[in-house]
Protein backbone atom coordinates (compact mmCIF):
# COMPACT_ATOMS: atom_id res chain seq x y z
CA UNK A 1 0.00 0.00 0.00
CA UNK A 2 1.25 3.49 -0.95
CA UNK A 3 4.73 2.19 -1.81
CA UNK A 4 5.32 5.10 -4.19
CA UNK A 5 4.41 7.58 -1.46
CA UNK A 6 6.82 5.81 0.86
CA UNK A 7 9.64 6.18 -1.68
CA UNK A 8 9.00 9.90 -1.80
CA UNK A 9 8.98 10.07 1.98
CA UNK A 10 12.33 8.30 1.97
CA UNK A 11 13.53 11.14 -0.25
CA UNK A 12 12.22 13.78 2.18
CA UNK A 13 13.77 11.90 5.11
CA UNK A 14 17.18 12.29 3.45
CA UNK A 15 17.17 16.10 3.71
CA UNK A 16 16.04 18.78 6.13
CA UNK A 17 13.76 20.45 3.66
CA UNK A 18 13.13 21.08 -0.02
CA UNK A 19 12.46 24.67 -1.00
CA UNK A 20 10.31 25.10 -4.09
CA UNK A 21 8.01 22.86 -6.09
CA UNK A 22 9.99 23.43 -9.25
CA UNK A 23 13.15 22.26 -7.47
CA UNK A 24 11.32 19.22 -6.09
CA UNK A 25 10.02 18.29 -9.55
CA UNK A 26 13.46 18.49 -11.12
CA UNK A 27 15.21 16.67 -8.25
CA UNK A 28 12.96 13.63 -8.45
CA UNK A 29 13.29 13.55 -12.24
CA UNK A 30 17.09 13.76 -12.09
CA UNK A 31 17.22 10.98 -9.47
CA UNK A 32 14.92 8.88 -11.62
CA UNK A 33 17.32 9.31 -14.52
CA UNK A 34 20.10 8.19 -12.16
CA UNK A 35 18.21 4.88 -11.87
CA UNK A 36 16.55 5.60 -8.51
CA UNK A 37 13.26 3.73 -8.93
CA UNK A 38 10.74 6.52 -8.50
CA UNK A 39 7.59 5.64 -10.42
CA UNK A 40 6.18 9.11 -11.13
CA UNK A 41 5.59 9.73 -14.81
CA UNK A 42 7.03 12.83 -16.39
CA UNK A 43 6.22 14.78 -19.52
CA UNK A 44 8.03 17.69 -21.09
CA UNK A 45 6.39 20.99 -20.15
CA UNK A 46 7.10 24.66 -20.61
CA UNK A 47 9.72 24.60 -17.84
CA UNK A 48 11.16 21.15 -18.60
CA UNK A 49 10.18 17.72 -17.28
CA UNK A 50 7.15 17.87 -15.00
CA UNK A 51 5.08 15.18 -13.28
CA UNK A 52 1.43 15.76 -12.46
CA UNK A 53 1.52 12.48 -10.53
CA UNK A 54 4.24 13.86 -8.28
CA UNK A 55 2.22 17.01 -7.63
CA UNK A 56 -0.80 14.91 -6.65
CA UNK A 57 1.22 12.57 -4.41
CA UNK A 58 2.79 15.50 -2.60
CA UNK A 59 -0.71 16.95 -2.03
CA UNK A 60 -1.85 13.61 -0.68
CA UNK A 61 1.11 13.34 1.67
CA UNK A 62 0.44 16.88 2.91
CA UNK A 63 -3.24 16.09 3.52
CA UNK A 64 -2.33 12.89 5.35
CA UNK A 65 0.08 14.84 7.54
CA UNK A 66 3.16 12.96 6.33
CA UNK A 67 4.92 16.06 5.04
CA UNK A 68 4.42 19.69 5.94
CA UNK A 69 4.06 22.43 3.35
CA UNK A 70 4.80 26.07 4.15
CA UNK A 71 3.63 28.70 1.67
CA UNK A 72 5.67 31.89 1.44
CA UNK A 73 4.66 34.96 -0.53
CA UNK A 74 7.45 36.28 -2.75
CA UNK A 75 7.34 39.43 -4.86
CA UNK A 76 5.16 38.12 -7.69
CA UNK A 77 4.61 34.53 -6.74
CA UNK A 78 4.33 31.95 -3.96
CA UNK A 79 7.03 29.53 -2.91
CA UNK A 80 6.57 26.31 -0.97
CA UNK A 81 8.81 24.47 1.55
CA UNK A 82 8.46 20.79 2.34
CA UNK A 83 9.59 18.75 5.37
CA UNK A 84 8.90 15.22 6.54
CA UNK A 85 6.78 15.22 9.72
CA UNK A 86 6.90 12.87 12.70
CA UNK A 87 3.80 11.13 11.33
CA UNK A 88 5.64 10.66 8.07
CA UNK A 89 8.63 9.14 9.87
CA UNK A 90 6.36 6.74 11.74
CA UNK A 91 4.62 5.72 8.51
CA UNK A 92 7.97 5.17 6.86
CA UNK A 93 8.98 2.78 9.66
CA UNK A 94 6.41 0.32 8.34
CA UNK A 95 8.33 -0.03 5.07
CA UNK A 96 11.55 -1.73 4.19
CA UNK A 97 12.78 0.54 1.44
CA UNK A 98 15.41 -0.65 -0.99
CA UNK A 99 16.39 2.81 -2.25
CA UNK A 100 20.12 3.57 -2.14
CA UNK A 101 21.27 6.43 0.14
CA UNK A 102 20.15 9.73 -1.38
CA UNK A 103 21.79 12.24 0.98
CA UNK A 104 24.81 13.08 -1.15
CA UNK A 105 22.83 13.55 -4.37
CA UNK A 106 20.24 15.70 -2.64
CA UNK A 107 22.90 17.84 -1.03
CA UNK A 108 24.53 18.39 -4.42
CA UNK A 109 21.21 19.33 -6.03
CA UNK A 110 20.21 21.60 -3.15
CA UNK A 111 23.44 23.48 -3.79
CA UNK A 112 22.36 24.37 -7.33
CA UNK A 113 19.83 26.91 -8.58
CA UNK A 114 16.46 25.67 -9.85
CA UNK A 115 17.42 27.24 -13.21
CA UNK A 116 20.42 24.91 -13.37
CA UNK A 117 18.30 21.92 -12.34
CA UNK A 118 15.87 22.83 -15.13
CA UNK A 119 18.78 22.68 -17.56
CA UNK A 120 20.08 19.35 -16.22
CA UNK A 121 16.64 17.73 -16.27
CA UNK A 122 16.07 19.00 -19.83
CA UNK A 123 19.41 17.55 -20.92
CA UNK A 124 18.48 14.23 -19.34
CA UNK A 125 15.12 14.29 -21.11
CA UNK A 126 16.98 14.31 -24.43
CA UNK A 127 19.89 12.11 -23.41
CA UNK A 128 19.12 9.47 -26.03
CA UNK A 129 20.45 12.03 -28.56
CA UNK A 130 24.12 12.85 -29.17
CA UNK A 131 25.67 15.57 -27.01
CA UNK A 132 25.64 18.01 -29.94
CA UNK A 133 21.95 17.29 -30.55
CA UNK A 134 21.19 17.74 -26.85
CA UNK A 135 22.81 21.19 -26.98
CA UNK A 136 20.77 22.08 -30.05
CA UNK A 137 17.60 20.93 -28.32
CA UNK A 138 18.41 22.97 -25.21
CA UNK A 139 18.97 26.09 -27.31
CA UNK A 140 15.73 25.59 -29.24
CA UNK A 141 13.30 24.54 -26.50
CA UNK A 142 14.87 26.70 -23.78
CA UNK A 143 15.67 29.74 -25.88
CA UNK A 144 14.34 32.21 -23.30
CA UNK A 145 16.61 30.83 -20.55
CA UNK A 146 19.74 31.82 -22.51
CA UNK A 147 21.83 28.84 -21.39
CA UNK A 148 25.44 28.99 -22.54
CA UNK A 149 27.89 26.30 -23.73
CA UNK A 150 29.52 26.55 -20.29
CA UNK A 151 26.19 25.90 -18.55
CA UNK A 152 25.68 22.79 -20.67
CA UNK A 153 29.22 21.60 -20.05
CA UNK A 154 28.66 22.09 -16.29
CA UNK A 155 25.43 20.16 -16.69
CA UNK A 156 27.23 17.11 -18.13
CA UNK A 157 29.81 17.20 -15.34
CA UNK A 158 27.04 17.43 -12.77
CA UNK A 159 25.21 14.45 -14.28
CA UNK A 160 28.41 12.42 -14.25
CA UNK A 161 29.04 13.29 -10.61
CA UNK A 162 25.52 12.40 -9.51
CA UNK A 163 25.67 9.08 -11.35
CA UNK A 164 28.92 8.22 -9.63
CA UNK A 165 27.02 8.26 -6.30
CA UNK A 166 24.72 5.42 -7.36
Partner 1 sequence: MAYRDERLSEEKVFKDPVHRYVHVRDRVIWDLIGTAEFQRLRRVKQLGTSYLTFHGAEHSRFNHSLGVYEIVRRIIENFKDRPNWDHEERLLCLSAALLHDLGHGPFSHSFEKVFKLDHEYFTQAILLGDTEVNQVLRKVEPEFPKKVADVINKTYPNKLVVSLISSQIDADRMDYLQRDAYFTGVSYGHFDMERILRVMRPMEDQVVVKESGMHAVEDYIMSRYQMYWQVYFHPVTRSAEVILSKILHRAKELYDKGYKFKLKPIHFLSFFAGQPTLKEYLALDESVTLYYFQMWMEEEDEVLSDLCTRFVHRRLFKYIEFNPNSQMNEWMELYKLFSKAGLNPDYYLVVDSSSDLPYDFYRPGEEGERLPIHLLQPNQELRELSRLSDIVESISGKKRTDHKLYFPLDRLEEMSNRSKTKKRIMEILYG
Task: Note the residues at the interface with partner 1 (CB under 8 A).
Answer: 1-2, 5, 20-22, 25, 41, 43-47, 50, 52-53, 55-57, 59-60, 62-66, 74, 76-80, 87, 91, 94, 114, 118, 125-126, 137, 140-141, 143-144
Shortest reach from residue 40's CB to partner 1, in Å: 9
- C-alpha 127/C-alpha 150 separation (Å) is 18
Nearer to partner 1, 56 or 97 (CB): 56
Nearer to partner 1, 19 or 104 (CB): 19
Which CB contacts under 8 angstroms, 24+ apart, belong to 48-52? 48/118, 48/119, 48/121, 48/122, 48/125, 48/142, 49/25, 49/121, 49/122, 49/124, 49/125, 50/25, 51/25
Residue of 2, 3, 46, 48 lying closest to 24 (CA atoms) = 48
Q: Residue 21's CB: how many other CB atoms inside 10 A?
A: 19
Nearer to partner 1, 53 or 103 (CB): 53
Nearer to partner 1, 140 or 160 (CB): 140
Shortest reach from residue 25's CB to partner 1, in Å: 7
Shortest reach from residue 104's CB to partner 1, in Å: 25
Amino acid sequence: MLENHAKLMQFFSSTDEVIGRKRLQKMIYILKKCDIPFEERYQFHFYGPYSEELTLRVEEMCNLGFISETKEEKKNYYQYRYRLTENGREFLNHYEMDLPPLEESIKEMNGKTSRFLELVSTMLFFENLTKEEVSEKVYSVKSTQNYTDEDISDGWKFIEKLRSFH
